Amino acid sequence: MKTAIFACRMLEQELCSILQTSGDSYVLKWFEKGLHNSPERLHNALQQELDNLDSDISRVILTYGYCGGCISGLHSKAQIIIPRVDDCLTLLLGSHARRLEFSEHGSGAYFLTDAWIDSDRSIAVEYDYTIKKYGPEMGKEIFSMMFRNYSLVALLDTGLSPLAAAEQKSREIADALGLRMEIVPATLDYLRALISGPWPRERFVVLEPGQSLTPAQAGTMMNSERSEI
């Protein structure tokens, strides 16, 4: 029996580097980055592929966490493995606890990775649209409202590609938004463990064939101590 990976393009670089060195073979299915702006469409896209799974696939690994609730209700004839994370940012930071450290200073961090910077809805693209549509004065005001609760732009460094270009772009974004910029070390360990298994309860949800998460279970699965699943 085979294992499939349902992967988000946001994690393409990271996942490919892991798969290159892994001896196992997987059926790999990519999902576009833009889907995450609509948790409902993302859910539907994932469910559709789960419904069309080849019969020799007995396990599906999702590189998605809660991601706006997209995982709630997903079900399959195969086993489904889900990391106990909010989203890809926690996955790359390595743990839920580490993610929370960034909001403990009282104001938030806006995270960037290579893939977030290059997405066709990157914050830089959003910024240009805003200035064009609403003019520089109103546009800047809109952005300062959008980011009024932030103090930091955090560029995740996975060590996979040279930082120079991303750093330059992050700095431009931070300057435009009036925020600090920091480079934050990231890790591939969580993603690697997700691909290779085993899947201990502290870090992963394992759904047996036919089983699914209720919305409330999906919303509380990040914290394994409190989660009922």
Partner 1 sequence: MSDTRQLAAAMRELDESTVLELTKSMIESGHDAFEIQSLLNEGIKDVGKRFESGEYFLADLIVSGIIYQNAMELFHHCQRLDNAPVRGKVVIGVVENDIHDIGKNIICEVLRAEGFEVIDLGVDVKPKGFVQAVQQHHPDVLALSGVMGFALDSMLATISELEKLGLRDGLSIIIGGSCITSGDPALIRADKMAIDPLETIAFCKAVTEKRNE
Within residues 169-198, the interface with partner 1 by CB under 8 A covers: none
Q: Please report whether residue 34 would count as binding partner 1 according to CB under 8 A.
A: yes
Tokens of 154: 């955090």
- Which of 129, 171, 175, 210 is close enough to bind partner 1 by CB under 8 A? 129
**Considering the complex, what minimum distance in angstroms separates the CB of residue 156 from partner 1?**
18
The number of angstroms, rounded, from the C-alpha of 3 to the middle of its chain's C-alpha atoms is: 21
- Which of 32, 86, 118, 172 is close enough to bind partner 1 by CB under 8 A? 86
What gap in Å lies between CA 83 and CA 88, rounded to an integer?
10
- Which of 19, 27, 45, 146 is close enough to bind partner 1 by CB under 8 A? 146
- Which of 75, 134, 176, 206 is close enough to bind partner 1 by CB under 8 A? 134
Binding segment (CB under 8 A) for partner 1, from list 7-15, 47-55, 181-189, 208-216: 208-216
**At 39, which helix (H) or strand (E)?**
helix 39-51
The number of angstroms, rounded, from the C-alpha of 139 to the middle of its chain's C-alpha atoms is: 28
- Sort 103 into a burial class: Cβ within 10 Å, 0-12 / 13-18 / 19+: exposed
What gap in Å lies between CA 195 and CA 34, rounded to an integer?
23
What gap in Å lies between CA 48 and CA 183, rounded to an integer?
38
Work out what residue 196 binds among ligand B12, partner 1, none; the CB cut-off runs from 5 to 8 Å by kind.
none
- Which of 92, 96, 111, 173 is close enough to bind partner 1 by CB under 8 A? 96
Work out what residue 36 binds among ligand B12, partner 1, none; the CB cut-off runs from 5 to 8 Å by kind.
ligand B12
What gap in Å lies between CA 33 and CA 11, rounded to an integer?
9
Q: Please report whether residue 150 would count as binding partner 1 according to CB under 8 A.
A: yes
> Residue 94 pairs with which residues in a beta bridge?
none
Task: Return residues touching ligand B12 (CB under 6 A).
Answer: 36-37, 39, 66-68, 86-87, 89, 103, 108, 110-111, 116, 146-147
